Amino acid sequence: MTPWIEAAFAKYAWIWIGLTFGLAAKYALLIKKGVKVRPSLLMADILLLPMVGLIAYWLVTQFGVSGEAAALVSAGATIGAERVVKLYTERFMRQVEAITLRDLSREVTESKGELRNAVQTELSAKRLAGQPED
């Protein structure tokens, strides 16, 4: 092996081992909960894995750990990332629902006002014309 590959393996191998075990542990927890593992779920996690790898690398660097400790930190980041993504997704959906309800409420209020003005205009026109009101 070339020195560059050996250096990369020495530096990042434990992080990749931790990411692999963390992903396996995450799916073990999902299966234990009774969640059916679908290919789309696996694909989403694989797409998130590089970001989780960056987070794990940052944590390992900040804590100054190496070896098995780096693998444990990486595995923890992998399992914890799912929780963070779920938390932010739920928060985002709540904000979207709140904005949608607020906009809907405003539109209903405006529609009521327009309807009230139209009815009043019609009643005023009937009064001016001398027609009896219904």
At 96-133, the pLDDT tens digits run 888 887 777 777 777 777 888 888 888 888 888 876 66
- 27 inside domain: yes
Q: In terms of pLDDT, which residue wins out, 103 or 76?
A: 76
With contact defined as beta carbons under 8 Å apart, do 74 and 62 qualify? no
Q: 15 phi and psi, to 5 degrees?
A: -65, -45
Q: Do the domain assignments include residue 22?
A: yes
Whether 31 is covered by a domain: the verdict is yes
Classify residue 130: in a domain, yes or no. no
Q: pLDDT class for 77, splitting at 50, 70, 90?
A: confident
In a domain, residue 122? The reply is no
Residue 30 lies in a domain: yes
Q: What per-residue confidence (pLDDT) applies to 132?
A: 67
Count of domains observed in the chain: 1
pLDDT given at position 34:
92
Q: Answer whether residue 77 is part of any domain.
A: yes
Q: Of 47, 45, 57, give the one whose Cα is nearest residue 18.
A: 57
Domain residues for the domain of 75 are 3-106
Which of 55, 108, 111 lies closest to 84, judged by CA?
55
Could you tell me if residue 124 is inside a domain?
Answer: no
Q: CA dist 88 to 84, 94, 96, 120, Å?
A: 6, 10, 12, 48
What share of the chain in percent tops pLDDT 90? Answer: 2
CA nearest to 78, candidates 11, 2, 27 = 27
